[in-house]
Copies of this chain bind each other. A is one copy, B any other.
Amino acid sequence: MNFQQLRIVRETVRRDFNLTDVAAALYTSQPGVSKHIKDLEDELGLELFVRRGKRLLGLTPGGKELIDVIERILLDAQNLKRIADQFGSRDTGHLRIATTHTQARYALPEVIKSFKAEFPRVHLALHQGSPREIATMLSNGEADLAIATEALDKLPDVVTFPCYSWHHAVIVPEGHPLDTGKPLSLEALAEYPIITYQEGFTGRTQIDQAFAEATLTPDIVLSAIDADVIKTYVELGLGIGIIASMAFHPSRDQGLRLLDAQHLFALNVTKIAVRRGHYLRDFSYRFIERLSPRLTEAHVRESLSL
């Protein structure tokens, strides 16, 4: 038994049992992959994969039991390296954060700026993706931390912590009929074409829910992944926008007006997620603390160990 065999088995599950893909992903030859799987199965005396002819289709019952342990071994092997790095040089290393456009563009810059100032030698890699992609990266160990409002809950072996909450707000072009200073209503919004986030992004669920509960069907003419796109089209007069309030900067977004909508849509909570069993460097905890001072290292560690 060796680590390469275990890596191959893990990757085979991830790559949907296509050994050619597995070989490519691990930068090795496909026959080598085949042989490693066969050798491991021989050593364990058990078929890990269900086969039809020569194709692999899935895991056997035994394989399903084993894959969890294999994952843990490989996770721990990674942890060895991270722990060693930790002791070798406390303040140098890599911190890989997976997050969404909204967080990367509006919430994180301040945090990252101050983090960079204190840990100039930590290589910080910010990876942008959809909430789904972010979740996958965290699960696969391709990211150390994930920050998003959606999709991070309910993942196995992932622990999430609420960081901060925010509300949606409405943006309209200057001089728009809604810009009266009076409180908005959902009914009023529903009379205009709306531009907002795509499903699965930045609290879109909350928006849909608010309209549904008021038995209104909003006229969503355009859905985008990020607020910058939304603002562009609101400026063009395509409709009114619903965005995260922190995405609006009065000075930068001249020509647009931000209208309060806290009373219309449910509160959104941005969360940070960590994979259980994934060793975090010291500076990772410092980063989390900057994001939300309530999330001390002691608190995070305790939640992870439960």
A255 at the interface (CB under 8 A from B): no
CB within 8 Å for A45 and B85 given contacts A2-B3, A3-B3: yes
Q: Does A84 contact B (CB under 8 A)?
A: yes
Q: Could you say which of A65-73, A100-108, A111-119, A185-193 contacts chain B?
A: A65-73
**A13 CB → nearest B CB, Å:** 15
User: CA A81 – CA B46 in complex, angstroms?
Assistant: 10
Question: Complex formed: what's the CA distance from A44 to B86 in Å?
Answer: 10
Known A81-B44, A84-B44, A88-B46; judge A69-B62 contact (CB<8 A): no
Interface string of A40-83 (1 = CB under 8 A from B): 00001110000000000000111001100110110011011101
Partner of A83, one of B3, B62, B77, B87: B62
Q: Is A1 an interface residue (CB 8 A)?
A: yes
B73 close to A76 (CB less than 8 A): yes
Q: Report whether B88 and A69 are in contact in the complex, using a CB–CB cutoff of 8 Å.
A: no
Residues of A within 8 A of B (CB): 1-3, 44-46, 60-62, 65-66, 69-70, 72-73, 76-77, 79-81, 83-88, 279
* CB pair B44 A80 closer than 8 Å: yes
Q: Contacts A2-B2, A2-B3 given: A69-B80 contact, CB under 8 Å?
A: yes
CA distance A77 to B74 in the complex (A): 11
Closest 8 CB pairs of A and B: A62-B87, A44-B84, A46-B84, A73-B76, A45-B88, A69-B76, A65-B83, A46-B88
Q: How far is the CA of A86 from the CA of B77 in the complex (A)?
A: 25
A–B Cβ pairs within 8 angstroms, 30 of them: A1-B3, A1-B77, A1-B80, A2-B2, A2-B3, A44-B81, A45-B84, A45-B85, A45-B88, A46-B84, A46-B88, A61-B87, A62-B83, A62-B84, A62-B87, A62-B88, A65-B87, A66-B80, A66-B83, A66-B84, A69-B76, A69-B79, A69-B83, A69-B279, A70-B80, A72-B72, A72-B76, A73-B73, A73-B76, A76-B76
- 8 more contacts with CB within 8 A, not counting A1-B77, A44-B84, are A1-B80, A3-B3, A44-B88, A61-B87, A65-B86, A66-B83, A69-B76, A69-B279
Measured between C-beta atoms, what is the minimum distance from A48 to chain B in Å? 9
CB distance from A127 to the nearest CB of B (A): 25
A87→B77 CA distance, assembly (Å):
26
Closest to A46 in B: B84
Shortest A53–chain B CB gap in Å is: 23
A60–B3 alpha-carbon span in the complex (Å): 25
On chain B, the residues within 8 Å of A77 by CB distance are: 1, 73
Q: Which residues of B contact A88 (CB under 8 A)?
A: 44-46, 62
Q: Across the interface, which residues of B come within 8 angstroms of A279, CB to CB?
A: 69
CB distance from A165 to the nearest CB of B (A): 33
Q: Which residue of B lies closest to A60 (CB)?
A: B87
CA–CA, A87 and B64, complex, Å: 11
Distance in Å: Cβ of A74 to nearest Cβ of chain B:
9
